[in-house]
Structure 1
């Protein structure tokens, strides 16, 4: 095979590799599954799988509770109004089932709706928290409140900070159930359940909490999910220090057959734990009191398409004339680092791990901490990313210095290396021996230039994770048209790179890939200039690959979060400056303009000192 065919084969293989990596990292969006048009009544939809006290130890048995109740739209409600939350809880089941996050809007438009986290039965995708008691020996399902039991308000009118609400229900057989719900200034609810036994007999029952999400199709995920491979969405839980993450697709394998023993993923917690659902930026979590054992489970009801997580505490025995109570917590809100860290300090074990830090958590956590504190100091996330880049480059400077000094010495040794090549001729072994002796004599390590590049790879992926996952980057502004650093560059030639007051192509479309924004263009130019610090390789194939690389990366990264592209541009600019100055200090002056001129010629230039 001649050299021309070899080069063509190599170029084709490389092109295929780039395309393959592109589709792995950016798979085309899956088609939206059609919604199930079968009408679902409120009573049927509320038939969540509530635990039985007999099954609290094994996690096996369940009882479907669907007591008759008024339609959801007619059930009385209690308003929730705090500085950060609004919504209501339904007296049908005493569910916390309508919750809005006041600090967050759906889009950058100031007129857009605020984010809705929880929604009642009858909405497109119902999502709610439910509490109750699983009946033990001697009790029937009708003796305890169920998902549709109509409660009464005993105390309080509106649930807000410092003003709890107490609900009450009597079963007519001597048992009085109360549920007191309070909320703090952020996203944590405290739910205290009590039962007063005025009957003549001892009773037993187990307190539980349930989070339920209603799906929209037989095999479809919930609406609004990102379905991105680097992001976990689904069940998340902590079991005595061990984190568990289960995707929604895997939760569907825990299908509950009401005619058989229930199937579920069960976690037996000895002292500390929590379980719930996590999305990109939002989360709901059931949190029993630290130090108390409980059973946590994840389930799926395929017939009604209900995803479910639950916590079930040990059965309580309540003698006649006695009262028992238990307190648990519910987190329902945004995954803010500072807020979650405060809850962790307050006793929620490893709650900060509910943020998806990824495999490189040992890098993503300190990188985010540094970026967060820079933003607190500077007050602008874009400049904070540039400041973070400066700090990272300063930390890596000793390695970079050694690398660029070695590169300068290698340039100085170029004439001697050419002489060795001529003397060795076709004897490859003699050439290698001569090269090793020369490197040893001049104290040059040819591999030292690779180390800074290798270290940049995990740092780059860690920063990518931070920018993509953390809510602090969501809708974070820089300047001008860059109003969301977690989103792709909004500029394009179609809006004169942000000068005209309309949006560019829709991110993820072919038009957006072709008509890239100003940041990807600057990235390509910065990579190209950095490349010109060295002469083009003499081998034509290598020269072709190097020539195309900046522009391939420019288009590939055009759909990345603009904050990540800002980091890469800053990194390239600092690297160019460092390399140029250090190599000059070692007696070698890179011929940048000469290398640029030679790049427009067919034959690559070998470079001059």
Structure 2
């Protein structure tokens, strides 16, 4: 009885550590969900503004009004199915981009996502292309270029031109596809009397770090693909200390947020030097330069690069990678260790969504599919549990007989397993299979833009965010903000209830302390899971409900599991 009390006290301490310690580490190590998209106020579900949204849209937070800055220089308008914005002819910068397919929040009047903003506004973010001034005199940073057309569209590239007093003429031809990939051709025509060295460069500059947190499982910030591998480092703090440089052939570099990416893609067949560096006023820059090439008089030289500036859509990144347009661009999504499991699960989930039109329903069908596939394994698990249960009295006798000789005790138990042809690990297989699947769904909910702001039913407007219908503040009627471990919504409660009934179907344990642990565990896990994305909770609830039905059916085939073990 004394040992049972010790076990129960130990479990209670561990449960308290989980409840109160988990919120302290989860945001850094294992982010549980996206920021809430809605909040319950007086029992009604109201959209929340995006806390990570760009604050510079003509607001007091702006250094200067964006509209004023945009009007200060001549511009070429960008008009595509996915992007709106403009190219600044002063300095030949792409510094004004809006993603028309995505909104800041789920509110009907929400503005679209703004990715790029010109210098002089808060959170300035832009891309530029030019030539190094080592033996060549390129146009100055504030030079005003001449455009061949007033609008850039997928069917009509625009060429920017300028010249210098030495006789060199410079041209930057910018083309764009229907999505987010710019193609930039940089040409120098040497009309001077001597050869000049030509080395092209490209840069992406941003002010401030990513609004999305950088964590152990989800990287945001500087990122590159170089020398055949994806590198999710350095982070912004590393760049603050010193520049990071590399030389490679093929690859890209830029800045990644959770859903958005701005990446420079030099000529994939030529070597280039890439670097990340920090500047004044919290500015960060990713840039590349190519080795100089001598350009004789009367000749011209063209170097081609690309710029990806847009949303990290899974199929789009895969298409750019598979067609060879950009090396390993699909690695811009930090799938992590279980990439081989995560991507097929995402594609299957996305395929289900295309059929049923609801990601919540797609998650339920995904769960049914997985449980159907592992059902034969579950049958073997229950058969193993039945055999193990039959052996419990013999195991208990061995433990009592050799309680002072642990080594002999283990030898006898292993001999018992062998003689009875029982594998004690067979019951763990279904649980082990569930781990990568659960983690894959977690990553899909957290990382893929396809899951962003996807509703399910009733008050659930975003499957990638926690349940907003919190009970302890009476669904918003009491205007208080609850700490994470108390923000228990309706769905987490349903999860706890489903887990409680599932655990009640488990075989009776010989150890009363274990019985007490299993009685409390569902409610501990309810608190732990409450901050997670609703989509994960729906997956787990569906799994529990299927397990309950499955266990009832399997108990009919193994009735000995219902009974208390023999003495």
Fold agreement, TM-score > 0.5: yes
| TM-score, normalised via structure 1 length | 0.80
Task: Provide the rounded CA distance (Å) in 1 between the counterparts of 2:415 and 2:8.
Answer: 36
Distance 2:457 2:422 in 1: 45
- In the alignment, structure 1 segments of 5+ residues that lack a partner are 43-69, 216-220, 255-263, 592-605
Q: CA separation in 2, counterparts of 1:38 and 1:460?
A: 41
For the pair 1:530 / 2:502, whether they are aligned, the reply is yes
Secondary structure of 2:232's partner? strand
Of 55, 64, 72, the match for 1:74: 72
Matching residue of 2:241:
253
**1:314 has 2:312 as partner:** no
Question: Is the 8 Å Cα contact of residues 207 and 312 (structure 1) preserved in structure 2?
Answer: yes
Give the structure 1 partner of residue 254 of structure 2: 276
Which residue does the alignment assign to 1:51?
A: none
Aligned to 1:567: 539
Matched, 1:240 2:233: no
1:210 aligns with: 203
**Cα pair 1:72 1:92 within 8 Å, conserved:** no
| Equivalent residues of 2:470, 2:490 under 8 A apart | yes
Q: Offset of 1:405 from its aligned partner? A: 1.1
C-alpha deviation, 1:456, in angstroms:
2.0
| Cα distance in 2 for residues equivalent to 1:145 and 1:104 | 36
Deviation of 1:368 after TM superposition, in Å, equals 1.6
Distance across 1 between alignment mates of 2:76 and 2:387 = 76
Structure 1's 6 and 16: CA in aligned 2 closer, same or farther, altered over 3 A? same
CA distance in 2, matches of 1:580, 1:365: 33
* Shift of residue 505, structure 1, vs aligned partner: 8.2
Which structure has more RCO (C-alpha within 8 Å, separation ≥ 6)?
A: 2
Using the alignment, how far apart are the partners of 1:461 and 1:542 within structure 2? 27
Q: Distance in 2 between matches of 1:417 and 1:316?
A: 79
CA contact (8 A) 2:63 2:122 kept: no
Query: Scaled by the length of structure 2, what TM-score is found?
Result: 0.86
- The RMSD of aligned alpha carbons is 3.3
Distance change in 2, residues 1:426/1:265 (3 Å): closer
Kindly tell me: are residues 313 and 539 of structure 1, through their superposed partners in 2, closer, same or farther at Cα, counting changes over 3 Å? same
Paired position in structure 2 for 1:15: 15
Return the alpha-carbon distance in structure 1 between the equivalents of residues 150 and 164 of structure 2: 23
Q: Which residue of 1 aligns with 2:558?
A: 586
Alignment match, 1:554: 526
Other-structure match for 2:462: 484
State the partner residue of 2:383: 405
- For residue 144 of structure 2, what is the aligned residue in structure 1? 150
Q: How does 1:76-115 map to 2 (within 5 A)?
A: 76-115=74-113
Q: Which moved more, 1:453-462 or 1:487-496?
A: 487-496
Paired position in structure 1 for 2:48: none
Decide whether the 8 Å contact of 1:86 with 1:102 is kept in 2. yes
In structure 2, relative to structure 1, the CA distance for the partners of 1:136 and 1:421 (3 Å cut) is: closer
Q: 1:514 Cα shift?
A: 2.4
What CA distance in whole angstroms lies between the structure 1 residues aligned with 2:165 and 2:478? 64
- Give the number of aligned pairs: 535
Alpha carbons 1:167, 1:179 under 8 Å: kept: yes
Deviates more, 1:561-570 or 1:433-442: 433-442
Task: Give the 3 Å change call, closer, same or farther, for CA 173–422 of structure 1 in structure 2.
Answer: closer
Instruction: Find the counterpart in structure 1 of residue 46 from structure 2.
Output: none
- Inter-CA distance 167–505: structure 2 relative to 1 (3 Å threshold): farther
Q: Distance in 2 between matches of 1:285 and 1:490?
A: 35
1:291 deviation in Å?
Answer: 1.2
* Structure 2 unpaired stretches of 5+: 32-50
Match of 1:116 in 2: 114
Partner of 2:359: 381
Structure 1 4/531 Cα, relative in aligned 2: closer, same or farther at 3 Å? closer
Partner secondary structure for residue 199 of structure 2 = strand
Secondary structure of residue in 1 paired with 2:78: strand
Counterpart check, 1:454 vs 2:426? no
Alpha carbons 1:281, 1:334 under 8 Å: kept: yes
Distance in 1, matches of 2:314 and 2:327, equals 15
| Compared CA separation, residues 557 and 146, structure 1 to 2 (3 A) | farther
**In 1, Cα distance between equivalents of 2:319 and 2:450:** 16
- 5 Å-filtered alignment, 1:469-508, equals 469-493=447-471
Aligned position for 1:327: 304
Distance across 2 between alignment mates of 1:504 and 1:328: 56
| 8 Å Cα contact 1:203-1:319 kept in structure 2 | yes
Q: Tell me how far apart the structure 2 counterparts of residues 566 and 8 of structure 1 sit (CA, whole Å).
A: 30
Contact map agreement 1:136 1:203 (CA 8 A) in 2: no
Once residues 294 and 130 of structure 1 are traced to their aligned partners in structure 2, the CA distance between those partners, rounded to angstroms, is 17
Q: Which residue of 2 aligns with 1:465?
A: 443
> Structure 2: how far apart are the matches of 1:172 and 1:112?
49
CA 1:444–1:149 in 2, change beyond 3 Å: closer, same or farther? same
Does 1:369 pair with 2:347? yes
Given candidates 517, 530, 533, the residue that maps to 2:489 is 517
Cα distance in 1 for partners of 2:185, 2:122 equals 30
For 1:146 and 1:294, locate their aligned partners in 2 and report how far apart those are by CA, in whole Å: 23
Q: Aligned-pair distance for 1:538?
A: 4.5
